[in-house]
Amino acid sequence: MATVMHIPEHRQNRFAMRAVINYCVQEYKTHDNKSKRQLINGVNCEGANAFREFMATKKVYGKDNGFFFYHYAQSFSPKEKITPEQAHEIALEFAAKAWSGHEVLVATHCDREHIHSHFVINSVGFDSGKKLRQSPSTLKHLRKLSDEICFAHGLSVLQPYQGGKNSMSSREYRAQLRGNSWKEKLAKDIDTAMSYSGSKDEFIRNMSILGYHMTWTDKRKYLTFHCPNGKSCRDIKLHDEKYLKENIDCELLQREFPNGEKQPTGWEDSCELFEQHIRERTQSKAEMQRISDSYSNVGNEISSLAGAVSKIVDNDSEDPDERRKRIEAEKNGSALGTVLGLGIGMIANAVNEAPEQDFDYEQEEYKTREEILKEIFGESDYDEDYDDDEEEGFTMSM
């Protein structure tokens, strides 16, 4: 799965643009060891010469002012089975469709666990001379386009980013991509609790075992989950109708009173898991009882055999050596019964003992360019140091 992010660039001049381009095309970041090539190309321009071509276009149309460039990135999940070269080809296809009529530098970084591509877009169109304009819906459009291209290449896609009051935010979208979204963890834990719950009380108890408590009253329209990391989340913020209070309540009532008419709740798959767990639990108890009875019978047989032998040979004419062997046999029989009893107790404890839960939640605040570069890409901010004299001496070859 991949997501597209806008990286804010508040410094807008040719020096800042050159610094960003230099950062994106660093050799150690863009070198693919498998294909033995630098993953740097351009759409409507030469990737290695992007800065000069960007400036040439601006000079032609007299628009070397205002917004100079835009910076975006397309990042793939570490779980996605994709090579750097494949990611680069997808990035080129995406850039050509996303910013047609504009020069775009495409540089794919493969020095991290998650492969990602940077896009630096010239704000001035090379053919029309018009400046690129962004709107609040631009990111939504770009993500939809990225998903369509990834899907066409047989890759997985994230839940569509929609924007709006109750939809997935940009921050949630990026956190889910990295696999450390606390809301995604909450949803998975609710799924787990539901697969073992046959009533509302059981669900509340199972969620408590996992470290959650809930505000669930008839007076409140929403169900609120209070998480181990100190955060709280209403059911409507989990972006799936099955987590709504009325659907969870309806599903648990249907499980508690199964003879009534079934209503769709979105928990049909979970209900099958619950019924499977009930069957497995019943079979497990029956098997434990069978093993217990079997061991008990073996112990009784050994004790009976030892007793019978004792009665037969326990007389004055018994040979001393045979008497010693008989007594040891009786002791061994008693010891075996004790060991078998302890073994059964250990098995029962192992079945009843719930595994410990390991929670690892991270704080998620991603607002600035630096935070995105460091937290999302695991990279340091790019170096904006440059030689003013060298830049001022730059000449344009037309």
CATH code, domain carrying 115: 3.30.930
What total of structural domains would you count in the chain? 3
Q: Tell me, yes or no, whether 79 and 195 share the same domain.
A: no
Percent over 70 (pLDDT), the chain: 67
Q: Tell me, yes or no, whether 75 and 141 share the same domain.
A: yes
Q: Is residue 271 one of the residues assigned to a domain?
A: no
Of the given ranges (79-88, 178-187, 226-235), which has the lowest mean pLDDT? 178-187
3 state SS of 140: helix
Nearest to 207 by CA among 252, 167, 265, 176: 252
pLDDT at 310: 52
Name which residue leads in pLDDT, 321 or 284.
284
Of the given ranges (90-104, 167-181, 268-282), which has the lowest mean pLDDT? 167-181
pLDDT at 184: 81
Q: Tell me, yes or no, whether 159 and 27 share the same domain.
A: yes
Q: Tell me, yes or no, whether 13 and 113 share the same domain.
A: yes
| Residue 61 binned pLDDT confidence (cut-offs 50, 70, 90) | very high
Q: Tell me, yes or no, whether 154 and 250 share the same domain.
A: no
CA distance 62 to 55: 10
Q: Tell me, yes or no, whether 90 and 18 share the same domain.
A: yes
CA distance 377 to 108: 12
Q: Is residue 398 one of the residues assigned to a domain?
A: no
Amino acid found at 250: C
Residues 6+ apart with CB under 8 A from 121: 69, 70, 71, 72, 99, 102, 103, 104, 105, 132
Q: Tell me, yes or no, whether 168 and 66 share the same domain.
A: yes
Q: Is residue 104 one of the residues assigned to a domain?
A: yes
Angle at which helices 200-209 and 182-194 pack, to 10 degrees?
A: 130
Enclosing domain of residue 201: 182-266
Q: Whole-prediction pTM value?
A: 0.50
Q: Tell me, yes or no, whether 308 and 234 share the same domain.
A: no
Helix/strand/coil percentages in the chain, nearest 5: 50, 10, 40
CA distance 101 to 224: 48
Amino acid found at 2: A
CA distance 344 to 297: 13
Amino acid found at 137: S
Name which residue leads in pLDDT, 270 or 40.
40
Which pLDDT tens digit goes with each residue over 3-59? 888 988 889 999 999 999 999 999 999 999 888 899 999 999 998 899 999 999 999
